[in-house]
Structure 1
Amino acid sequence: MVKKDEHIPLIGIEEHFLTEEVIQAWDRANLSASDPSLAHNAGVIGQRLLDVSQGRVELMDEAGVDVQVLSLTTPALHELGPESINIAKRCNDAIAETIVRHPGRFQGYATLPVVDPEAAALELERCVKTLGFKGTMLGGRVGDRNLDHPDFAPIFESASALHVPVSLHPRTPPIAVREAYYSGMSPDLEIALATYGLGWHYDAGVQFVRLLVSGLFDRLPKLQLILGHWGEMVLFFSERMAALGRSAKLDKPVMDYLKSNLYVTASGMFSANYLARAASIVGKDRLLFSTDFPYQYRPGHDARRFLNECGLEGEELAAFAHGNWDRLTKNCGQ
């Protein structure tokens, strides 16, 4: 039983970092020409992404977050070539060192060289079994391939075998999509609408739906995926999605997969209404906490404030704060 005034450990499971090496690799690939979201990583945000030391810990303390699960920010290594294999290893080793330097404050998601799915599967295994990481984060399409492409099966098979979750993170829609749906306005507004304003979240939601209707969960029934931002639009249209299961000839109704293969997290969208909607679809035992650091960082003990005002109490509150994540990841690598 959780006592009213007891300190509840708070784990943020979608908290981002960046390295100078990744920035340089993006620059060599001229990635900013096709992905305007890279501009969001400048200034104070960029400084906070690069800092995985005391400065970050101080901001965690200010927000009321006890533990961050670190993940490489979007677009990660999805648009890089074979050099991403060694870049991924160095990213993961650096996070492992951060975890050691700050005992009890950090956990890690594996950064994967997704251009080579076999190498990515092996790196995920190394990260989980050797470095103690808790899963991986994927950032949507890889080049022109969506995540349901058969090429990426080894990654999901590895995650299922290792009993670790796969978090799906938004990324910028392709240029053709941006031109069709997010153009005709001022350049700044076009970018905002195509990225954090809307486009990112549709993109992540579509990736999840494609994976679901591909039969991924019929093939790997124990695999667990995570969607941020209270389900990246998907949960709010779950009733309409029910027909997809019949068209896709899935083994079970779509709602069953949402309740057995999906976790959702806040990503700094601190809304009790969204939490209640998510809980009504996936269940309170599948809600996870996150702040989307540093993008949604707000001073004023903001994370702890939402925990106190989110509408949950007792064991359900503790489960949202840390218990559901602890249960989800307790068998990692076993």
Structure 2
Amino acid sequence: MSKEKKFRVDFHTHIIPDNFPDLEAKYGDDRFPTLKHTCSCGAEIYKDSKVFRKIEDNAWDPEKRIAQMDEEGVDVQVLSPIPVTFTYWADPEKCLELSKAQNDFIASCVGKYPDRFVGLGTVPLQDADLAIAEMERAINELGLKGIEIGSNANGKTLDDPEILRFIEAAAKMDVPIFVHPWATIGVERMPKHNFMYSIGMPSETALAAASLIFSGILDKYPNFKICFSHGGGSLPYLLPRIDQAWDVWPHIRTTEQPPSYYAKKLYFDTLVYDPRNLQFMLEKFGADHIIMGTDYPFLLREVPPGKVVELLESVTEEEVKQMLGENAIDFLGLSKSNYIKETVK
């Protein structure tokens, strides 16, 4: 494979405002996440009156991120909120307040460095009307290019009528959606070993993707762009079993075609760590539906960005370029000329 410098877009990165709103103090509810700075270069996210995660300043400082992007060869990052901040459990108006603050912050980062960042917003998914209104503001007024949503809202999967109202509005507006797992199934059985991240999230993502497929939304909007994080979790490996269930139980069918037909319409990031897993996904979905993403800036992220793509053996130079950067540009409906530069030999 050629060693020329390739254009890279990290589609899966998270950011939080350094002045994150303290809704715990405002509303007297410690379920709201809060940010407590421990020094100029570090902070802790608290939830339920205990430390949820320790972070460094690259989680909120765009200049710090750009320096690290330059070191690691990333041209553009797609910024999205940290899933713990979704707060779908809260009163919808309070969730909207937090969504607006984050969307404004992400838009400000993009506005300051428009050639290095692209923004995805967040919405109060538990209330379709508020979610649609905030999506319209984020896209039409703030200039964000898509919306990140959780894999469920208070236990309601993506085929829930209220959530589907939002998803259909996004499809009509041609707004790309990025689905990230949160509030995972079986979380009560995963307190040890950080299994929520290593096992719960991939399982949750598969359930979310299957729920979307069975919703029928992809029959109605076949060109709708929706990307699932972490390589779709366990979905790629479960598709034959899901197809078999669809085939042998006609009463569960809600779509015109079997689930694997619709899975090929979905997009997936590359965060699977092993090139053999990614090769399997390529065979299932094609290189044009796979987008490089690392989960920056957290511990489970891929370093260096695009490593698993470059470890692939049976791919063309064009497929590598697609996965490393061009697919993200196409997915988000951006102008290639604004981002893709001449490669350096």
TM-score range, shorter chain: 0.7 to 0.9
Letter in 2 for 1:69: V
Partner of residue 265, structure 1: 269
Alignment of 1:281-320 (within 5 A): 281-296=284-299, 302-303=304-305, 305-311=307-313, 312-320=315-323
CA distance 1:71–1:122, change in 2 (3 Å): same
Q: State the secondary structure of the residue aligned to 1:68.
A: strand
Give the C-alpha shift of residue 290 in structure 1: 0.7
- Answering whether residue 57 of structure 2 is matched by residue 50 of structure 1, we say no
Partner of residue 253, structure 1: 258
Alignment of 1:109-188 (within 5 A): 109-173=120-184, 177-179=186-188, 181-182=189-190, 188=192
CA distance 1:288–1:19, change in 2 (3 Å): same
- Answering whether residue 43 of structure 2 is matched by residue 41 of structure 1, we say no
Tell me how far apart the structure 2 counterparts of residues 94 and 302 of structure 1 sit (CA, whole Å).
27
- Answering whether residue 209 of structure 2 is matched by residue 204 of structure 1, we say no
Q: State the secondary structure of the residue aligned to 2:236.
A: helix
Equivalent residues of 2:275, 2:309 under 8 A apart? no
Partner of residue 338, structure 2: none
Partner of residue 17, structure 1: 15
CA distance 1:76–1:243, change in 2 (3 Å): farther
Letter in 2 for 1:163: D
Tell me how far apart the structure 2 counterparts of residues 48 and 22 of structure 1 sit (CA, whole Å).
15
Letter in 2 for 1:257: Y
- How many residues are matched? 313
Higher helix share: 1
Letter in 1 for 2:261: D
Equivalent residues of 2:106, 2:121 under 8 A apart? no
Partner of residue 7, structure 1: 5
TM-score normalised to structure 1 length: 0.84
Tell me how far apart the structure 2 counterparts of residues 304 and 251 of structure 1 sit (CA, whole Å).
36
TM-score normalised to structure 2 length: 0.81
Alignment of 1:58-97 (within 5 A): 58-77=67-86, 78-81=88-91, 82-97=93-108
Higher strand share: 2
Equivalent residues of 2:202, 2:233 under 8 A apart? yes
277-286 or 55-64, which moves further after superposition? 55-64
Q: Could you say what the CA RMSD is over the residues aligned between the two structures, in angstroms? A: 2.8
Equivalent residues of 1:201, 1:232 under 8 A apart? yes
Q: Structure 2 unaligned runs (5+)?
A: 34-46, 336-345
